[in-house]
Amino acid sequence: MKLLMSVLLFTALPLAAELPDDESIEVEVEVKVKVITQTSVPADCLAAVAVDKIDGEKRLVPAQGFLIEPGIHTINGHATLDITHCDFAGGDLQMSSAEDLEVNFEAGKTYYIAYDYKSANTEEWKLVVWVTE
């Protein structure tokens, strides 16, 4: 173990000696966006989403959430609804596929995505960003 550390130190010294004191090193760090999809608020008629499509392509992402590049992306998936807290008086529970959610994701932020089913009209149900941190 000591021998390995000595070798690493000796090989790093010549590289460090070649850099002038007044020159800085730029390091490019890519900052991703965090997307949380498994947080739901049944009392507010917001369901967790299992994302299975990003930018029109089928994707397999972790159920809790995922990281994505900053920029404009479209997201879609499916949700399981808890209808015990939401009033659907006369509402028809037949629904069509949700429209893609288009979001301009900003670097370093966290976005919470859910399926909003507050309306009695199922045609108004949609994917939403309900919190941004």
Is residue 17 over pLDDT 60?
A: no
Q: What would the 3-class secondary structure string for 13-73 be?
A: HHHHHHCCCCCCCCCCCCCCEEEECCCCEHHHCEECEEEEEECCEECCCCCCEEEECCEEE
Nearest to 54, CA basis, from 70, 40, 68, 33: 68
Q: CB within 8 A of 39, min separation 6: which ones?
A: 48, 112, 114
105: tokens are: 């994701």
Taking the model in full, what pTM does it have?
Answer: 0.73
121: tokens are: 């009209």
Percent of the chain with pLDDT over 70: 71
Residue-wise pLDDT tens digits, 32-81: 999 999 988 888 999 999 999 999 999 999 989 999 999 999 999 999 88
**pLDDT, position 4:** 39
**pLDDT, position 36:** 96
Distance between CA atoms of residues 24 and 41, nearest Å = 49
**pLDDT, position 18:** 59
Torsion of CA 43, 51, 30, 9, to 10 degrees: 100
Percent of the chain with pLDDT over 90: 50
